Amino acid sequence: MTTAEFARPLLLRTAPISVVEFVTSVLGGGIARETPAAAGFTPSVASVVSAASGRHVFVKAGAVGDAGGDAVRVGAELASTIGDLGPPLLSWSESDGWVVAVYERVHGAAIAEWNHADLGSLAALSHHLRERLDPSPVRATEPYAHAFAPLLGAWEALQRPATAATASVAHVRHLDLPYGLRVETLAELEAEWFETLASGTAFQHGDIRRDNVMREPSGRLRLVDWTHRWTAPGWADWIRLIPDIAADGFDPEAVLAASAWSDADPHGVDVMLAGLAGRCWRDGHAPAVPGLPQLRPMQLLQGDMTLRWLARRL
């Protein structure tokens, strides 16, 4: 997944002075250097900020009212609940129409490629997630099934051309599905989305993939970007993640079997895979998003891995 053309905004160039001053107060000195994160898919501030003293912190910031700023606030509000599953929060603030959160810098980097050692760390992480977040310790949540609902419907639109969503799939109508899959089968599975997922009570990260997983030099993994208040069956986060791991050649069934959710409802997994794949198939073939050239290739790869796994299960 290339990020060569992806340029995040810089804190020093875009944020109000009050936000920069807040960061310097937490940093304990003036900002000597700012290095924006290369990974990710949201055009908001996400930078390692350094002081002349050599201290480093990680800063996320965005304007109030847009997706970036709202995500920063949610992440800061969840930090005490998430604890050491993610990076420690030092402080956060809202001023001049911006939200800013300053985190302790985690030594390491976002996953570029999954390796065998990661699989054991992921299995251990899955158990920590199940122990701490199932059932959800967070109140005022929304079912993930409902939050994802606007992204559903690709298979039905392909199966029934007269639906209102027909235009959204016009660019993929001529494409053959891979792995011997049939649109009718996928539409039937996706139709059970709400019945299958809406009643789940586990708190969800909602977007676990390699760029949201930090690998420390010790091999420990931490999840970054906790930006949603969603609930679903506990295994749902892992079903979203596994196609990303499969893209590096690992067996998705083995990854699921080694996790805390080896007891995941088999049919429920199929339903979720069908829904996720529909979004990726439709959006991945759409024109590139300006400023996010890596987004469509990621969706295409995720969609292909999801469909391959689902075909194997059916």
Residues of the chain with pLDDT under 50: 1-5
Beta bridge partners of 59: 47, 102
CATH classification (class only), 11-104: alpha beta
The conformation of residue 286, written as its DSSP 8-state character, comes to: S
Write down the pLDDT at residue 158. Answer: 95
Q: Mention every residue, 6+ apart, whose C-beta is less than 8 A from residue 223.
A: 82, 85, 86, 125, 205, 208, 212, 213, 214
Write down the pLDDT at residue 7. Answer: 64
Instruction: Please give the order of strands across the beta sheet that includes 230-232.
Output: 142-143, 230-232, 202-204
CA separation for the pair 109, 213 (Å, rounded): 8
Is the domain spanning 110-313 CATH 3.90.1200? The answer is yes
Beta bridge partners of 98: 63, 95
Give me Rg for the CA atoms of the chain. 20
Domain boundaries, the chain: 11-104, 110-313
